[in-house]
Structure 1
């Protein structure tokens, strides 16, 4: 682990040292990890908190996630993405790659920024939700997908890609770039629910695809640390960066739950035919 400024020491280190959390702005913390990470998974703000309405579990709810998800102008959003992706690039090893989740609200900005920073875009993975919320306004098609851009830092260096593992998961056929997963299961909310929480099964497959057992994985917007739980289930090291106290506590509780129920949780992922 790299040496850090005293003010940027971890707020939490698990007993097995595989799970570390830093509280603060990723743009201040990522540069401290220069050339350290094999893989970064990022679920940055989508900037869709616009006081609109949606339907969840049959109830009308606000689409607002929090102040961190409110966007200003297109230029502000592009500037935000340019800053954090530039710092993520510094933190990646030359052989490292990045996975960034988004929707049409931010995916085009992310793609342009990656190209401007000379990343090599490898795939655009589409997560097809098997249980999407219905279209409240009935004025356009129901949104049922999210995209994940996979790109590598270097145009020259090879990235990790576990082709044979993905092929095995897909019944002996090449894995395609459209994946179907339901939203998070009730047992994944045992310690609370982050408003943009991703299914654990989705993260496990992504990490199986693009990292090895000795890999160090970072999530600069770690939220409730689904990335960290997936990483530790696969015996990978995890570094999470998060601003909000609420989500730091949620992350710590999820890691403690994993330590107590490791075999049970691994079996749940096995049942989904991910491992």
Structure 2
């Protein structure tokens, strides 16, 4: 009798490579135009970019380059004029408003420059707010792990006004990951923080990617922030112009200088 050949168990390296090869989100031939006629602004001009699962990607570019527009369209917060945006295998443009709202609720997390915490709720209540609104139960073990990672176990019964800016943003980070989303989009998450608090928040995002197998896509103008990412993508005038693996602050700064227009 011939025995079936056993299926080899993937090594940790192979599993990691498989995770990274999957697209958490992507846009294809993405065009976004605001306005019409002579006042039309082409914020995205045929962008093709993939954000791999299990990776930390920074979107860089000068002011007005289209980086926030790209994030908003990839996250389903805005619609493309043409082209397509996907979360995993789901094309966002095929969803009606209800299904798009459910997708954002269940599969996407957000961290913004403004902390967007509810002032009347405690830290614990702010963290679980998306889950409570969805009417689902809590994974208590996962929430407890998040609270430990963001270092707020002794602040769970405090309200946002009793926290520093860095602590408030750590609450926002925990809230973004509370529902185990496919991807967390972060828009200038350190913009309102001092360098120390900003570094702590970026460290938390990196930890979530590398130790918890999460996916983060971050818009930033700061080369130091981009250096926390696994990869940086660069936009200029609504177009993707470069990608950089293992970015450092110096390499990103040098690349950004190329966008400066001589006076």
Q: How would you bin the TM-score normalised by the shorter chain?
A: 0.3 to 0.5
TM-score, structure 2 as length reference: 0.37
Question: Of the two structures, which has the highest relative contact order with CA contacts closer than 8 Å and spacing of 6 or more?
Answer: 2
Larger Rg: 2
